[in-house]
Amino acid sequence: MNPLPDLVCPAGSLPALKAAVDNGADAVYLGFKNDTNARNFAGLNFDTKTMADGIRYAHGKGREVLLAINTFPQAGRTGDWHKAVDAAVDLGVDAIILADIGLLDYATHKHPQQRLHLSVQGSATSYEAINFCQREFGIRRAVLPRVLTLAQVEHVINRTTVEIEVFGFGSLCVMNEGRCWLSSYACGESPNTVGACSPAKYVKWDKQPGAMETRLNGILIDRFGDDEAAGYPTLCKGRFDVLGETYYALEEPTSLNVLEILPEILKIGVRAIKVEGRQRSPAYVTQVTRTLRAALDSLCDGNERFHVKPAWQAELAKVSEGNQATLGAYNRPWR
Amino acid sequence: MSNAFTIPKFQLPGFIASLGQKLPQWPHALALIASLNVAKQMKLLPEDSLTELNDKLFFVRVRDTGGEASFTYRNGTFRPVFRSEREPDLAFSANLSAYLQLLARQEDPDTLFFNRELEITGDTELGLLVKNMLDAVEWPTLPRLPRLPIADR
């Protein structure tokens, strides 16, 4: 049997990091309080002191800390991203998750001993792209974008010695990771440039009698009745009038949930399973981490056939966006 | 999954809100503000985020108790605002159970918001800052009570 994949959980704050560690994450991933990471939201993330505290806490319990520097250096400011890489090495993180090829080049030359992972924002979906990054920058792991079927993930794993990490749970977007400019279309800023999709300063929740309207830089994204669940204020999750019909023209708000296919994920040799949501609270991290930990542990029990417990599904459904979950691209019939 | 005590979702009967609205609002407003100031003095709230709250007007409403509180943050202190002449910069509205579940870190604020159990209106960026600031607070751990045999069932 392949080794159990590592459970990699998100931390936007020190309490979230501790929640991940205490509930069974093998690794936590986090970011600095600036635009070098793709969850650059007000009040979120770590300054150098809290990060040092967090690393001490995780290492004290034998867990890894992965630092995401997964945005793209902006013109004239490359130095800020180089400083972030240097600071990550000084802090002693177990790996740095990078997306930009220039930064990968900088990191591998300046810090040849540092373990590097290729971020999902690097948009590498083929073994050729992954092996290129291994040859040129010595990456040890790649996080796959959420566009491949399980068979395609297996195809990649069989043709590379780079560890493969896949998403296991969390909000889905249009999954054009590292290449999405929808947010910039609406407000001129996007994860690649400022580290945030649909930044909060452009978002307006407008309460009206019987409904709430969401606008992104003035563009009406959606209108929710009082008895309807609301969704994230992003263009990809809006309901739009298309030829006289109003519906989710790009995609419905939904969450990825791979519980059902965990045995297949183990079988094909996935090295790590990632949970989305550094912007979510310690309560979310607790609920998702302990559920996936229980499911992963039951995989290696060996005594009984793996089956998804209703309690796990209920726990994950509670924190799912749109209150519905899918297997995403993993079980897509078309390619 | 966990045997720990959990706060259930509940809604107090309607008469409590109508009664609560007739009672003076200052006692619980002062209690809330005193708690915030204690948290600040204990350095539980990050200074860099606090400076962003300067002169902002906040409004908190507990739907099912009828309780309301307005306050601001100025010169390093949270202060009550009894007569406000402008719209709050940020307003929260929820039932008591939702606030308790949030404080106990039992429920995720995004989940409550998207399920419409927690209403946040006003400056979205300020709302996100406050949410993330509260998420980042390391509450002091209380002494652990001896485990009752029932908890090990």
pLDDT of A329 over the 50 cut: yes
Cα radius of gyration (chain A): 20
Determine the Cα–Cα distance for residues A117 and A96; give it in Å rounded to an integer: 6
Interface with B, mutate which of A224, A281, A308 (most B CBs under 10 A): A281
Residue range A157-173, pLDDT digits in tens: 999 999 999 999 998 88
Residue B3 belongs to a domain: no
Q: Most confidently modeled of A73-77, B40-44, B148-152? A: A73-77
Tell me the chain B residues in contact with residue A37 when contact means C-beta distances shorter than 8 Å.
Answer: none
Alpha carbon distance B32, B12 (integer Å): 20
Q: Which one of A283, A294, A322 has the shortest CB-CB distance to B106?
A: A283
Average pLDDT, chain A: 93
> Domain limits of chain A?
6-172+254-331, 182-248
- Domain range enclosing B79: 26-136
Question: What CATH code is carried by the domain that includes residue B94?
Answer: 3.30.1050.10
Reduced to 3 states (helix: H, G, I; strand: E, B; else coil), residue A242 is: strand
State mean pLDDT over B123-147: 81
Which band of pLDDT confidence, cut at 50, 70 and 90, is reported for residue A303? low
Query: Residue B14: inside a domain, yes or no?
Result: no
d(CA A180, CA A191) in angstroms, rounded, equals 8
| In the predicted structure, residue B4 carries a pLDDT above the cut 70 | no
- Please report whether residue B6 resides in a domain: no
Residue B18 lies in a domain: no
Is the CB of residue B146 less than 8 Å from the CB of residue A24?
no
DSSP letters of A99-131?
A: --HHHHHHHHHH-TTS-EEE-GGG---SHHHHH
**B118 neighbourhood in chain A, CB within 8 Å:** none
Residue B117 counted as domain residue: yes
Under a CB-based contact definition with an 8 Å cutoff, are residues B39 and B45 in contact?
yes
Spatial separation of the C-alpha atoms in residues B84 and B70, rounded to whole Å: 8
CA nearest to A294 within chain B: B1
pLDDT for A302 equals: 65
| pLDDT above 90: residue B18 | no
Cβ(B94)–Cβ(B118) below 8 Å: yes
pLDDT higher at A125 or A328: A125
Confidence of residue B151 (pLDDT cuts 50, 70, 90): very low
Q: How confident is the model at residue B2 (pLDDT cuts 50, 70, 90)?
A: very low
Using CA atoms of B122, B125, B127, B129 in order, give the dihedral in degrees to the nearest 10. -160
Contact B107 A44 (CB under 8 A): no
Which candidate from A15, A16, A230 shows the least CB-CB separation from B116? A230
pLDDT tens-place string over residues A228-272: 888 888 999 999 999 999 999 988 888 899 999 999 999 999 999
Q: Is the CB of B2 inside 8 Å of chain A's CB atoms?
A: yes
The answer to whether A14 contacts B114, with C-beta atoms less than 8 Å apart, is no
Percent pLDDT > 90 in chain A is 79
Q: Give the pLDDT mean for A46-62.
A: 97
Does B46 contact chain A (CB < 8 Å)? yes
Residue B77 has pLDDT above 70, yes or no: yes
Give the count of domains, chain B: 1
Rounded Cα distance between B149 and B147, Å, is: 6
Domain-located, residue B7: no
Query: Span A6-172+254-331: which CATH code?
Result: 3.20.20.60
- Best of B56, B108, B125, B134 to disrupt the A interface by mutation (most A CBs within 10 Å)? B108
Residue B31: inside a domain, yes or no?
yes
- DSSP codes of every residue in A153-213: HHHHHTT-SSEEEEEEEEE-----TT---HHHHHHS--HHHHS-SS-GGGEEEEEETTEEE
Tracing tokens 């600071």 back to the chain, one arrives at A87
Does the residue B4 lie in any domain? no
Q: What percentage of chain A exceeds 70 in pLDDT?
A: 97
- The C-alpha atoms of residue A140 and residue A154 are separated, in whole angstroms, by 17
Q: How many CB atoms lie within 10 A of CB A167?
A: 23
For the residues A126-144, what does the mean pLDDT come to?
98
